[in-house]
Amino acid sequence: AQTVTQSQPEMSVQEAETVTLSCTYDTSENNYYLFWYKQPPSRQMILVIRQEAYKQQNATENRFSVNFQKAAKSFSLKISDSQLGDTAMYFCAYAGGTSYGKLTFGQGTILTVHP
């Protein structure tokens, strides 16, 4: 079975600084996808970034980028120029390449951005 582990229950960062959230996963599949989701206090689930395992290039979306280390099964999220609106719970998630997007989530990291 696939597992996703986020070892940082809580993180904090000053506004405008950079923070990195860690995620490791375990799978025996070759084809899969990794995601970072943001859940603000409203509890809506918002997709931050997506990485396809067969792509070596790290995904980036504006201030958000990932460091995907396939051999190490590591998938960290870097948030640059942190903003107050980035305060949320962040989930790392995994979906197998033969699934219909069935997600396995990590435990989550609560990120607080301080002014």
Partner 1 sequence: GAVVSQHPSWVICKSGTSVKIECRSLDFQATTMFWYRQFPKQSLMLMATSNEGSKATYEQGVEKDKFLINHASLTLSTLTVTSAHPEDSSFYICSAPGQGRLGGQPQHFGDGTRLSIL
Binding residues for partner 1 (CB under 8 A) = 31-33, 42-45, 47, 50, 52, 89, 91, 95-108, 110
| Least CB distance to partner 1 at residue 43 (A) | 5
Residue nearer to partner 1 on the CB measure, 19 or 95:
95
Sign, Cα dihedral of 1, 22, 41, 58: negative
Sign, Cα dihedral of 3, 12, 10, 40: negative
List of E strands, the chain: 3-5, 10-14, 19-21, 24-26, 32-39, 46-52, 60-61, 64-69, 74-79, 88-96, 104-105, 109-114
| Least CB distance to partner 1 at residue 16 (A) | 26
| Least CB distance to partner 1 at residue 73 (A) | 17
| Least CB distance to partner 1 at residue 6 (A) | 9
Residue nearer to partner 1 on the CB measure, 9 or 85:
9
Residue nearer to partner 1 on the CB measure, 17 or 29:
29
Helix (H, G, I), strand (E, B) or coil at 28: coil
